[in-house]
Chains A and B, each alone.
Chain A
Amino acid sequence: MPRVLWFPAALALALVLLPVAGLLVRTDYARLPELITSPASLNALRLSLVTALLSTVLCVLLGVPLAVVLARAGGRAVRLLRAVVLLPLVLPPVVGGLALLFLLGRNGFLGYLLDVVAGVRVPFTTAAVVVAQTFVAMPFLVVSLEGALRGAGDRFERVAATLGARPWTVFRRVTVPLLLPALGSGAVLSFARALGEFGATITFAGSLEGVTRTLPVEIYQRAETDVDSAVALALLLIVVAVVVIAVARPRALEGVRS
């Protein structure tokens, strides 16, 4: 490794760490316990954990098949789809929220159908939070998995098929095990993104304590009026994210084969 890399690397690290350090400096430690254990904070924390976990599960259930299709199917349409899947990464979250409203809102075509046929209204519910989080977090999972699959190539799958394995067996016994290391890091990335999700949530789901007001939305609200309390909650969010990542997949982020 060329030594000169150390300089930009240190700059990059400083760019990530110094703002967090600024947060730590600004924290009012005397009021910290009281601020993060208030009912509003605990409600927001609980809601955030539950919705982010549900979103991660949804990301895995839907994102794994999508990644396999994108990595293994050929053709121009699939190449185009690969770009389309990344859209939620590029869209400003508020625009993502509006897009979800136009689809699942009362006047959106799917939302209208749901309302008339099943009497279900999605906006302003906890389900809306999960949908918004899944929308923004899914690309992280799909991109990680697709990259891993294409890097690994399809020779194992082809060999298994020539040995007489049916497609479903190949998927279960060859493709999924190939995916596992990347699945860990992809799921952690999705979870982290879902936990921090804010713009699409507030636009699509609104903000009501215990129902749709997740930790980031609560932080946004407090930042208007009480910075100390917003900083305290931000600290809580960071600690939760770090703990969950450390406990759930200690080696996931390294991307090594376990």
Chain B
Amino acid sequence: MRGVRAALAATVLAAASACAPAGEGTALTVFAAASLTDSFGALAERFEADHAGVDVRLNLAGSARLAQQIQEGAPADVYASANERTMREVAAAGRVEGEPRTFATNRLTIAVAPGNPLGIESFADLAEPGLTVVVCAPPVPCGSAAEEIERITGVTLRPASEEQNVKAVLTKVRTGEADAGLVYVTDVLSAGQEVAEVELPEAARASNDYPVAVLKDAAEPELAREFRDFVFSDVGRQELLRAGFGAP
């Protein structure tokens, strides 16, 4: 029994110390769209190097899920989303400080197996029977962009699957289950040699704007504004450009 009590006490102590602030360090919590994983990861490191004692914590997920978490009261200082609709939702819930600003654009492209063995050349080729095509589901940003391209080109796809996020589409192409998938330009870049790209010029007319905003009730409002401005700085632009994003 004494052993149990000691273990209990130790657990309570450990839990208490885990909640306490860690030394003098300050944490800045940034909620960012999953497609920003690489670029914001690099930005966070640079920001930490410039600000001694600051720990940037990235929460990376689908924009819609992040918007929901923020509306449910998740503690966050900065929100960077992959389209304007999700940012509007957060703004409508009264959680945004000031006006969100667009810092990057992204557009869809066609991802195929390395070397493009099936010789896919255009969006219209994706509608050919016998081809396994995977897209995002319409409610998520990459899905609504795909629908927009269907509308622009007048080509209707018959996808084998409508995935929940763009990384899932990429996985299906990477593993060879899908012959082609509609993903962002930045995803093709981050996948390196594992997939090849087929240019999709029509996508330029259906590009997403990426807005960023400081959140109301941010624990570190000063630092949050600095981080937002850092995204717009030369360093920020370079990182985004390198990841394949377009300038706003």
Q: A101-B175, A105-B176 are in contact. Are A224 and B160 (CB under 8 A)?
A: no
> What residue of chain B has the Cβ atom nearest to residue A102's Cβ?
B175
Structural contact, A106 and B177, CB atoms closer than 8 A: yes
Structural contact, A208 and B160, CB atoms closer than 8 A: yes
- How many angstroms between the C-alpha atoms of A234 and B137 in the bound complex? 20
The segment out of B13-21, B162-170, B228-236 that lies at the interface is B162-170
- How many angstroms between the C-alpha atoms of A212 and B160 in the bound complex? 10
Q: Mark A93-113, 1 if CB is under 8 A from B, else 0.
A: 000001001100111000000
Taking CB atoms, residues of chain B closer than 8 Å to A98 are 175
Question: What is the minimal beta-carbon distance from A201 to any residue of chain B, in angstroms?
Answer: 11
Q: Is A59 on the interface with B (CB-CB < 8 A)?
A: no
Taking CB atoms, residues of chain A closer than 8 Å to B171 are 203
A-B contact count (CB 8 A): 59
Q: Which of A98, A202, A205, A225 has the most CB of B within 10 A?
A: A225
Q: Is B140 on the interface with A (CB-CB < 8 A)?
A: yes
- How many angstroms between the C-alpha atoms of A11 and B139 in the bound complex? 39
> What residue of chain B has the Cβ atom nearest to residue A225's Cβ?
B139
Q: Is A207 on the interface with B (CB-CB < 8 A)?
A: yes
Q: Is A124 on the interface with B (CB-CB < 8 A)?
A: yes
Taking CB atoms, residues of chain B closer than 8 Å to A226 are 139
> What residue of chain B has the Cβ atom nearest to residue A101's Cβ?
B175
Q: Is B65 on the interface with A (CB-CB < 8 A)?
A: yes
- How many angstroms between the C-alpha atoms of A220 and B62 in the bound complex? 12
Task: Identify which of B132, B139, B172 contacts A221 (C-beta below 8 A).
Answer: B139
Structural contact, A224 and B68, CB atoms closer than 8 A: yes
Q: Mark A193-234, 1 if CB is under 8 A from B, else 0.
A: 000000000110111110011000000111111110000000
A residues apposed to B, CB below 8 Å = 98, 101-102, 105-107, 123-124, 202-203, 205-209, 212-213, 220-227
Query: 24 A-B Cβ contacts within 8 A?
Result: A98-B175, A101-B177, A102-B175, A106-B176, A202-B163, A202-B168, A203-B168, A203-B171, A205-B161, A206-B161, A206-B162, A206-B163, A206-B172, A207-B137, A207-B162, A207-B163, A208-B159, A208-B162, A209-B162, A220-B164, A221-B164, A224-B62, A224-B164, A227-B68
